[in-house]
Structure 1
Amino acid sequence: MDEIVEAALRKWPNVPHCYGWLGLDARGDWYLRDEAAQAAGAFPAVKGSRIEHPGLRAFIERNYASDDAGAWFFQNGPQRVYVELEAAPYVWRLVDTRGAAANDGAAVDPSRVVSHTGRAAQVASCWVDEAGRLFLDTDIGVGVVHTLDMHAAADVVERGAWLPEECRLAELAQRFGYRLRPGSEGAAGS
Structure 2
Amino acid sequence: MTMFEADDLRADPRRGTGVRTSREVLRSYDLTVIAADVDGTVAAAGGWLCDRVRAGWQVTVLVPPGSDVRALTILGVHTEPTESATDALEHPAAAIAVDARVLRRDDELRRAVLGVVDAGHIEVTVWGESALFGSDGRFDAVRHRLSTAARAFKAGAMRAPGGSVAWPPTEEFVSTALWYPPDGADLVPVAGR
| TM tier relative to shorter chain | under 0.3
Give the structure with the higher percent strand.
Answer: 1
Q: Which has the higher helix share?
A: 2
Q: TM-score, normalised by structure 2?
A: 0.27
Higher RCO, 1 or 2 (CA under 8 Å, sep at least 6)?
2
| Higher Rg | 1
Relative to the length of structure 1, the TM-score reads 0.28
